[in-house]
Amino acid sequence: MAAARESLLEAAGAALTARAWPAVRMVEVAAAAGVSRQTLYNEFGGKAGLGRALVRREADWYLAGVERALQAPAATAERLAGVAEWTVRAARARPLVRALLTGAWTGGLPAPPGRAARPGVPALGPGDLVRAVRDRAAAALPAEPAHRCELVVRLALSYVIAPGTPGEESAAADLLGLVSAPNRTAGAR
């Protein structure tokens, strides 16, 4: 069933790029995935469950990109800059990632995490993702203070929320050099 689940998520993601979530029909998602509608309902329980799984998949996709940036063979500041650049690019390219990172959900997306969720299923929101990135960065870069890793993500999010001109994610990376470099006020932390 893992293959069917992945096919259904792919089909749902493709449908979401073509039209708003309320207009996505389960029969069309199942047909595009090459499975029966019953398989879709068995796997996800319904449209709300499919939407939650799609949101979770996007969060996992974003966090996998964070991991790649953190594992790059580069200096600490460059890896943190890579996380910031990835955050800006991913949020600009994928509406669900942008909504997850900013909490700005539109009616064209599946229900935000926490709404219409089953009891016992944790919600996933902006604070959760920022903490997940911070924790991953702190683990990958043990010499880097966790609060600095979180600051990097929050700085990148400012470029997502208030975008500048295209290509400005590299300006965010330049600013990150200031975060990780010693300065007169903070000294060598």
The one-digit pLDDT tens for each residue of the chain (189 residues) are 688 899 999 999 999 989 999 999 999 999 999 999 999 999 999 999 999 999 989 999 999 999 999 999 988 888 888 998 999 999 988 999 999 988 888 888 887 766 544 444 445 677 888 888 888 888 888 887 777 778 888 888 888 888 766 655 555 555 555 445 544 444 444
Structure confidence at residue 118 (pLDDT): 46
Alpha carbon separation from 60 to 56, 66, 67, 167 (Å, rounded): 6, 10, 10, 25
Structure confidence at residue 23 (pLDDT): 94
- CATH number of 1-45, picked from 1.10.3470, 3.40.1800, 4.10.640, 1.10.10: 1.10.10
Structure confidence at residue 13 (pLDDT): 92
Structure confidence at residue 183 (pLDDT): 44
Structure confidence at residue 64 (pLDDT): 94
Alpha carbon separation from 70 to 64, 74, 131 (Å, rounded): 10, 9, 15
For the chain, the domains span 1-45, 56-180
